[in-house]
Amino acid sequence: MKIGLDVGGTKTDAVAVDDAGAIVGRVRLATGWGPEAVTATVIDAVRALTTHAGVDATSIRSIGIGIPGQVEPGTAKVVHAVNLGVEELDLAAAVEPTLGVPVRAENDVKAAAFGAYALHGGSGSMAYLNLGTGIAAGIVADGELWRGARGTAGEVGHISVDPNGPLCRCGQRGCIEALAGGGAIAERWDRPSVLPVQDVFDAADAGDLFAQELRIGLARGVAAAVRILVLTADVDSVVIGGGLTALGDRLMADVAAELAASAAASPFMLSLQLEQRVELLPAGSAAAALGAALIGAARDPEGVLSRG
């Protein structure tokens, strides 16, 4: 049995995956803050799979952990997981003595990309576009994750697509993340809310002009990211995941309208058939935890999933 964890800023999603690649158990629990609490969360999640999801502890062969930070390839060494209060943490050193199983970590977007690719059939090429507080993508082709040379592969969020666009927290103007990142939209909307982007959509429906501007910007940013991924890496499909996918069809309809508008203006864009190549991951998908499980079980300590 392979265990996969998606350690998010608020919740940790854990799955057990059998030899055929099927998810046979799943639990979710709150994520702790700081290196010690994150370590405890990982241990608790694995134990919860055995106590609450019927996973035989002796059958566990590997643990893979997706985490929002930079991970040294082929290891479980995490740095700059700022949303978890973790500056530096070797998850293998922290949890292997207790759990007695090899542990490997991966950046959460890369893990989700790998999991989405497996869910998507596991062949051809795919980009996973994560729409959350920030925006980033992972590219998988022929079963391999494109890692890139210096850790910025898929960082499409900080590509500027409008020199007069909103200021991005990175310092540039008109970045895709400044237009379409959940964090940037919430900041510009600037009203107390649990689900600010959903509020923006509701307010836009009710006729609020600023909300409509923000909503159009979101769709433009996502459509730009899709075009960039297809025109640079020429992936077969772009699968969208992350927190903003809770908006479901409301989000997809806006993005499809943006893609249709550029296809109407440009025979070249029309020929790309982008609308047919974009999909939304179902809400509650276990893609990230599944991807972490697959990466955790990969035999080659570094090479299998690396490229670039």
> Which residues of the shown chain bind a copy of itself in the complex (CB under 8 A)?
124-125, 137, 139, 141-142, 146-156, 158-164, 168, 170-172, 220, 224, 227-236, 262, 265-269, 272, 307-308
The 3-state DSSP composition of the chain as helix, strand, coil percent (nearest 5) reads: 45, 25, 30
User: Between β-strands 23-30 and 86-90, what pairing exists: parallel, antiparallel or unpaired?
Assistant: unpaired
- Kindly state the smallest distance separating residue 247's Cβ from a copy of itself, in Å: 23
Q: Which is nearer to a copy of itself, 144 or 202 (CB)?
A: 144
Q: Which is nearer to a copy of itself, 45 or 230 (CB)?
A: 230
In degrees, rounded to 5, the angle at the alpha carbon of residue 232 between the alpha carbons of residues 230 and 238 is: 25
- Kindly state the smallest distance separating residue 172's Cβ from a copy of itself, in Å: 5
Q: Which is nearer to a copy of itself, 40 or 261 (CB)?
A: 261
In the beta sheet, which residues pair with residue 67?
A: 107
- Kindly state the smallest distance separating residue 173's Cβ from a copy of itself, in Å: 8
- Kindly state the smallest distance separating residue 168's Cβ from a copy of itself, in Å: 8
- Kindly state the smallest distance separating residue 206's Cβ from a copy of itself, in Å: 26
CA–CA gap between residue 160 and residue 134 (Å, rounded): 14
Other CB atoms within 10 Å distance of the CB of residue 301: 11
Tokens 């035999």 -> residue: 299
Contacts of 131 (CB under 8 A, 6+ apart): 180, 181, 182, 222, 240, 241, 242, 243, 244, 245, 251
Q: Which is nearer to a copy of itself, 36 or 72 (CB)?
A: 72
Q: Which is nearer to a copy of itself, 146 or 201 (CB)?
A: 146
Exposure on the CB side of residue 192, measured as CA atoms within 13 A:
0
